[in-house]
């Protein structure tokens, strides 16, 4: 495990050494009063210390609750409070963030700063020093045994409606998900490979990659806070990274950096792209210009996250470059363990013919069954099917193609008094691949302007949640059951 | 799935087509009275029909009980009776075998011959025709759901003491085992590969390979009854097999055939060798003469079977050919999911230093917990550890090296009246890699000769169970706890 630390230097150790520090950390957690089932929060970059927290917290039977530091402070406070985190671990970078929300946190007893004594900040928070905690403990620890369905980690999904909802992962779901991720048809994880997850550890456990490396002995390279083109490229080349995983936005920046400085990462053979779909020019750039195979994958926070991976079937290998790259725009086939079906608005199952589109429903051992600590917590129906909110086609070979999202209707419940109906669609964006466009219908006899609507968001949600633009219309196109027909909206507005 | 049929022709179909026939078969099983938990026996080669039985029998909640047709008829009858098989499915080849033991089978209601109407044999058995059964049924079948710990298949281990014991596999253990087998560090199963299991489907589910191909879409090539060099080589080349799996004896014959006819299988890149250890000249032949990588694996019937796989760690890749080939004589490292420890005669744990040797104990989700339908059925101790009977070292990197077997002492319980003590050790054999050598201590005042002892086996066990030679000695070397010190016996007799 090689990690760019928040303090600056590169940290490097073996899995065996990591294990011993995990033992120390588990002792320390126990002394902080953490018990089976307690939530332990983290606000941290991808570093070796965060990996230690994953294994120590879950291994001792507590729940590792990773938090997105980019959330609006009020949402962050909501999440810490809702999860009832007893202890939170924060990177140096995020101490000011915790200071800002501290007065709103009722349950947190201890804040541990993930650094050594030398780098401890001065703060009004009741802080402890991570390295001091570990130094005081023994390297020997006997992991407790408990039911495999015990929760191991927790990630809140910002969703699209209401408050963030906590998705719990169990030891069972995590092990099964890790097996699936490691398969040759997904990451093909083995100890001859070196993987760098740019995808954050606070985002669905970095797609489970820290678990995959522990299962398979694959070398893990962690970028810490260095997510710019220079830092990433330097680290990738220094550690001969062969696989990197992240969202399109990161890759757009990296590709620009490579082109500008006429550099690349010759050791890299695969880039995993998820979170949102890569566009055709990104696939072309990686594969044709840099000789790096794109693995387009799709999943959700509620799916741990893997759902599909787009590995070409053998018959596609002889296709033209153009055909292959176009095909890779699809989200791919269900990984083993995930069942899929598409349904129309009445819930009737639709054929997998590559033409019929409907909402994608998924089922499987790492699909979330209920949300944490909420009423009406059921995430799936009586038969175990989880509605993804994605409108897709599935072709006869099982490849999923997302055509739209059915869930991104904002049910604002009258928060904005002049708006009767609203819908959001994704529109192509050069930098972010896709950005939200808000389409609103004013209430009868109301007049609203775009600016008014945008102002309404100020201070309520994270900036990147705010639509770039608002279009005011008279009516939204509705389907038979009264749902907004997003496809018609996209046809009309998304291509402009 | 491509299969050399017992009738002769090559049969070929897709997994999707196989699935539909599996549905038909599940209906047919129901009509034959097979219910949840019932055992359904098979005495059959590796063919597509046997694959259909695996999935139809287990899928409907019954237990697929595969039987070794090479067992002595009295043992076969014992097993059918002990398992209480309700229906048995037999290949044409084995109809005479079933006829021979028919009068001893009390529970079998139906015998299904795995062929079409045209090839049905004339027999006094109450037989049905496999293809007729399927023709009569629908392609639509709704698989029932049941607890994941439901038994899915059953394999008797001939063991070394007493009657054969039935090892049950569950749906849960099978899925987990399949994940582990498919990993890049084991089979690296994916749809670009083509695998031919020579290892029989009656031997620990052909090491789980039919499940792995179903999980991953890897092409499955089944040799049927054609296990000779000509048949195997023809099929391998016709189907561009890339991976083949079997025991050393098969590979010895195949290598001889290739050398004699100056042929080989250029598409093949990996040969999986298990069941017993390959010797150095086999590893040299495959890797140096034919460019086929040897994957030495180890397991047991009680382990579903995978325990270890000997993939070279990255640091070994730069070693000399000689060093690499020698290293591959080791059984390899535990696959993810299997825990291992070595203990001395007092049960104390020994270091993993590559020097200390003791009995290997294993634990994990696909390690047998109890034997089927016997008193004192516990297969493992209170902490879940299963004693393998193998005496091994484990090096600091986790590579297991079997030095001896502790369990192959024949506890004949006074069956042979003139023998006080006996032990069997493996001695190197050119054809079979290893053959048993029996070492006996006569009872006080008894005189015995080798020939008398060998005659004693006549008609009691399968011929290949009978030792090639018997040595009569005055005493066996005993350890502190009274166990025979097999290592001393090997030093003295095995190298001669």
Cβ–Cβ below 8 Å for B188 and A184 = yes
Dihedral sign, Cα of residue B27, residue B28, residue B33, residue B39: negative
From the list B86, B100, B99, the residue with the least C-alpha distance to B41 is: B86
H or E stretch covering A222: strand A219-222
Kindly write down the DSSP assignment for every residue of B126-191, as one continuous string.
Answer: -EEEHHHHHHTS-S--------TTSEEEEEEE--SSSS-EEEEEEHHHHHHHHHHHHSTTTT---T
pLDDT at position B483 is 60
Low-confidence ranges of chain A (pLDDT < 70): 159-161, 404-416, 433, 460-461, 479-484, 495-496
Contact B314 A191 (CB under 8 A): yes
Q: Which helix (H) or strand (E) is B433 found in, with range?
A: strand B433-442
Complex ipTM = 0.86
Nearest to A336 by CA among B298, B437, B113, B211: B211
Centre a 10 Å sphere on the Cβ of residue B316 and count the other Cβ atoms it contains: 14
Query: What is the distance between the alpha carbons of residues A359 and A350, in angstroms, rounded to a whole number?
Result: 9
- Judged by DSSP in three states, B484 sits in strand
> Cα separation of A225 and A5, whole Å?
8
Question: For residues B359 and A249, what is the distance between their CA atoms, to the nearest angstrom?
Answer: 54
In angstroms, the separation between the Cα of residue A216 and the nearest Cα of chain B is 8
* Residue A217 and residue A191 in contact, taking contact as beta carbons nearer than 8 Å: yes
Nearest to A191 among B180, B182, B313 (CB): B313
Give the pair of three-digit tokens for residue A202: 């606070």
> Taking a C-beta distance cutoff of 8 angstroms, is the pair B361, B341 a contact?
yes
Nearest CB among B183, B192, B311 relative to A314 is that of B192
Q: Can you give the pLDDT at residue A405?
A: 61
Q: What is the pLDDT of residue A474?
A: 85
pLDDT at A160: 52
CA distance A211 to chain B (A): 12
C-alpha span between A352 and A371 (Å, rounded)? 30
User: Largest alpha-carbon pair distance within chain A?
Assistant: 71
Q: Minimal CA–CA distance to A407: which of A272, A302, A295?
A: A302
3-state helix, strand and coil shares in percent for chain A, rounded to the nearest 5: 30, 25, 45
pLDDT tens-digit readout, A165-216:
999 999 999 999 999 999 999 999 999 999 999 999 999 999 999 999 999 9
Residue B295: name the closest of B287, B406, B303 by CA. B287
Find chain A residues with C-beta within 8 A of B217's C-beta: 185
Q: Report, in this order, helix, strand and coil percent for chain B, each rounded to 5.
A: 30, 25, 45
A181: distance to nearest CA of chain B, Å? 10
Largest CA-CA distance found in chain B, in angstroms, rounded? 71
What integer pLDDT is reported at residue B18 of this predicted model? 98
Low-confidence ranges of chain B (pLDDT < 50): 407-414
- Given a contact cutoff of 8 angstroms between Cβ atoms, the answer to whether B332 and B278 are in contact is no
Shortest distance between the Cα of A212 and any Cα of chain B, in A, equals 11
* A-to-B residue pairs, Cβ atoms closer than 8 angstroms: 56
H runs (alpha helix) in A32-126: 48-59, 73-83, 95-101
Minimal Cβ distance to B336: which of A192, A215, A336 = A215
Residues of B in contact with A311 (CB under 8 A): 190
Q: Which residues in chain A are closer than 8 Å to B336, comparing Cβ atoms?
A: 179, 215-216
Measured CB to CB, residues of chain B less than 8 Å from chain A are 176, 179-180, 182-185, 188-192, 215-217, 311, 313-314, 317, 336
Following CA atoms A197, A198, A204, A207 in sequence, which dihedral angle do they give, to the nearest 10 degrees?
-30
Q: Show which residues on chain A lie within 8 Å of chain B, measured between beta carbons.
A: 176, 179-180, 182-185, 188-192, 215-217, 311, 313-314, 317, 336
| Cβ(B425)–Cβ(B160) below 8 Å | no
Which residues, in sequence order, are bridge partners of residue B434? B428
Note the pLDDT of residue B406.
56
Beta bridge partners of A222: A3
Q: Which of A216, A311, A314 sits opposite B185 (nearest CB)?
A: A216
Min Cα distance B402 → chain A (Å) is 23
Residues comprising chain A, all counted? 496
Residue A25: closest CA among A104, A125, A141: A141
Q: Are B148 and B169 in contact (CB under 8 A)?
A: no
Spatial CA neighbour of A342 closest among A363, A327, A328, A356: A356
DSSP codes, B227-260: -SHHHHHHHHHHTT--EEEE-HHHHHHHHHHHHH
Nearest residue to B55 (alpha-carbon basis) of B188, B174, B187: B174
Tell me how crowded residue B135 is: count the other CB atoms within 10 A of its CB: 12
The tokens describing A254, both together, are: 């990296």
């Amino acid at each position: 495990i090689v990690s760019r630390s928040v303090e600056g230097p590169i940290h490097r150790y073996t899995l065996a050494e990591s294990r011993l520090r995990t033992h120390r950390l588990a002792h320390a957690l126990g002394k902080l009063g953490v018990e089976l089932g307690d939530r332990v929060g983290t606000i941290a970059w991808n570093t070796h210390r965060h990996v230690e927290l994953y294994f120590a917290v879950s291994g001792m039977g507590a729940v590792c609750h990773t938090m997105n530091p980019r959330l609006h402070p009020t949402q962050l406070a909501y999440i810490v409070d809702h999860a009832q985190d007893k202890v939170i671990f924060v990177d140096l970078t995020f101490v000011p963030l915790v200071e800002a929300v501290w007065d709103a946190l009722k349950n947190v007893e201890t804040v541990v700063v993930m650094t050594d004594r030398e780098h401890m900040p001065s703060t009004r928070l009741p802080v402890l020093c991570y390295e001091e905690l570990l130094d005081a403990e023994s390297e020997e620890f006997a992991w407790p045994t408990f039911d495999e369905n015990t929760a191991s980690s927790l990630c809140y999904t910002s969703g699209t409606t209401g408050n963030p909802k906590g998705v719990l992962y169990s030891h069972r779901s995590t092990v099964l998900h890790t097996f699936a991720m490691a398969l040759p048809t997904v990451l093909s994880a083995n100890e001859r490979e070196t993987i760098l997850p740019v995808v954050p550890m606070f985002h669905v456990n970095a797609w489970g990659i820290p678990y995959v490396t522990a299962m398979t002995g694959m070398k893990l390279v962690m970028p810490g806070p260095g997510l710019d083109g220079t830092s990433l490229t330097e680290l990738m080349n220094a550690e001969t990274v062969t696989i990197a995983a992240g969202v399109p936005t990161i890759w757009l920046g990296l590709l620009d950096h490579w082109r500008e400085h006429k550099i690349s990462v010759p050791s890299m053979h695969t880039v995993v792209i998820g979170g949102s779909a890569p566009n055709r020019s990104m696939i072309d750039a990686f594969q044709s210009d840099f000789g790096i195979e794109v693995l387009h994958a799709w999943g959700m926070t509620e799916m741990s996250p893997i759902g599909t991976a787009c590995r070409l079937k053998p018959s596609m290998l002889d296709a033209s470059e153009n055909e292959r790259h176009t095909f890779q725009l699809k989200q791919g086939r269900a990984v083993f363990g995930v069942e899929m079906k598409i349904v129309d608005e009445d819930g009737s199952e639709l054929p997998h013919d590559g033409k019929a589109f409907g909402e994608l429903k998924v089922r499987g051992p790492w699909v979330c069954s209920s949300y944490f600590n909420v009423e009406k917590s059921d995430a799936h129906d009586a038969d175990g099917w989880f509605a993804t909110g994605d409108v897709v086609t599935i072709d006869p070979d099982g490849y999923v193609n997302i055509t739209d999202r059915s869930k991104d209707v904002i049910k604002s419940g009258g928060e904005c008094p002049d708006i009767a109906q609203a819908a959001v669609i994704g529109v192509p964006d050069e930098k972010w691949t896709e950005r939200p466009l808000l389409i609103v219908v004013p209430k009868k006899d109301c007049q609203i302007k775009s600016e008014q609507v945008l102002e309404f968001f100020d201070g309520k949600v994270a900036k990147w949640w705010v639509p770039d633009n608002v279009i005011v219309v008279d009516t939204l196109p509705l389907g038979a059951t009264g749902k907004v027909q997003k496809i018609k909206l996209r046809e009309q507005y998304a291509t402009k």
